[in-house]
């Protein structure tokens, strides 16, 4: 009969794990603790010898990379996220960012231009008026935050897959990256970029997208956690080089599936 090997956790190693958890950003720490990983569990998962803070950080990064790969393999680009009746919209829809609501960026939509770069054939900047002239759709979907809350909202705009094809993006590339007016940045996999519910959101609840939700344009992806949905987007690039992201570079999972 197979006997499970028990790996003892010494008090010094446990103390280092506590320190590593304490230094992890808030939402990542909460997600980490909710999954109840132990020092022994990390050893079993990663094969690392956890003797110092550096090895613990390496083990955590290894688990995160494994999680990204697993989510990528499980992701079905044809499966739709649930949609809801407008009667279920959360009012008011919560504001969420890495800064306070009094610091929301105010952007002049008349002078705003969406810059394109990387593996894109047509790199001419886009105006807000030009985006609004494209075929529009809307969705009532749930926003899921890594901090443990969720809210339902109605978003309208341009299917991102339509836009990528319009500008001649290389659809075989690995990543699509975003740079935002509030200095936020993130990136997604091409399969998610082409998902039918991934939306260049220009409106919220049937009205012009408010500044607090990302005016003049945000990316809305009901298949991703909230931090993967960038607001105030001012540049999009397509690349095969891993671009990272604001929270991802601080330890959050990159794939970020909901």
Q: What is the rounded distance in angstroms from the CA atom of residue 203 to the CA atom of residue 129? A: 13
Q: Provide the pLDDT confidence category of residue 221 given band limits of 50, 70 and 90.
A: very high
- Look at residue 41 in the predicted model and tell me its pLDDT: 54
Instruction: Decide: helix, strand or coil at residue 149.
Output: coil
The arithmetic mean of pLDDT across residues 43-54, rounded, is 55
The arithmetic mean of pLDDT across residues 23-44, rounded, is 50
Q: Which of 221, 147, 167, 165 is nearest to 189 (CA)?
A: 221
Q: Rg (Cα) of the chain, in Å, rounded?
A: 20
Q: Provide the pLDDT confidence category of residue 204 given band limits of 50, 70 and 90.
A: very high
Cβ–Cβ < 8 Å for 28, 251: yes
Residues paired with 200 in a beta bridge: 158, 219
Residues 6+ apart with CB under 8 A from 203: 138, 155, 156, 157, 209
- Look at residue 78 in the predicted model and tell me its pLDDT: 80
- Percent of the chain exceeding pLDDT 70 equals 71
Cβ–Cβ < 8 Å for 176, 186: no
Q: Provide the pLDDT confidence category of residue 215 given band limits of 50, 70 and 90.
A: very high
Q: How crowded is residue 191: how many other Cβ atoms within 10 Å of its Cβ?
A: 16
Asked if the model's pLDDT at residue 149 lies above 60, the reply is yes
The lowest-confidence range among 103-107, 116-120, 227-231, 251-255 is 251-255
- Look at residue 6 in the predicted model and tell me its pLDDT: 38
Average pLDDT, the chain: 83
Q: pTM of this prediction?
A: 0.76
Produce one character per residue of 145-168: b if its CB has 16 or more CB atoms within 10 Å, e if not. ebeeeebbbbbbbbbbbbbbeebe
- Look at residue 220 in the predicted model and tell me its pLDDT: 98
- Greater confidence (28 vs 210) lies with 210
């Amino acid at each position: 009969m197979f006997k499970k090997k028990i790996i003892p956790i010494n008090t010094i190693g446990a103390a280092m794990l506590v320190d590593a958890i304490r230094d992890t950003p808030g939402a990542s720490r909460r997600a980490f603790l909710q999954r109840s990983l132990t020092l022994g569990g990390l050893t079993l998962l990663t094969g690392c010898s956890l003797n110092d803070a550096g090895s613990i950080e390496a083990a955590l990064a290894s688990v995160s990379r494994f999680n990204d790969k697993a989510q990528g393999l499980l992701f079905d680009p044809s499966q739709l996220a649930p949609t809801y009746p407008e009667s279920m919209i959360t009012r008011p829809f919560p504001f969420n960012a890495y800064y306070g609501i009094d610091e929301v960026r105010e952007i002049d939509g008349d002078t705003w231009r969406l810059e394109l770069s990387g593996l894109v054939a047509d790199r001419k900047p886009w105006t807000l008026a030009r985006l609004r002239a494209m075929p529009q759709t809307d969705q009532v979907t749930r926003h899921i935050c890594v901090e443990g809350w969720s809210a339902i909202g109605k978003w309208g705009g341009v299917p991102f897959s339509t836009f990528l094809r319009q500008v001649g993006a290389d659809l075989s590339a690995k990543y699509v990256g975003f740079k935002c007016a509030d200095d936020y940045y993130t990136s997604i996999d091409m399969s998610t970029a082409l998902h039918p519910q991934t939306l260049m959101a220009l409106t919220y609840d049937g009205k012009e997208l408010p500044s607090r939700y990302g005016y003049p344009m945000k990316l809305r992806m009901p298949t991703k956690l909230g931090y993967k949905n960038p607001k105030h987007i001012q540049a999009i690039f397509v690349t095969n080089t891993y671009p990272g992201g604001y929270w991802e570079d601080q330890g959050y999972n990159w794939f970020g599936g909901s």
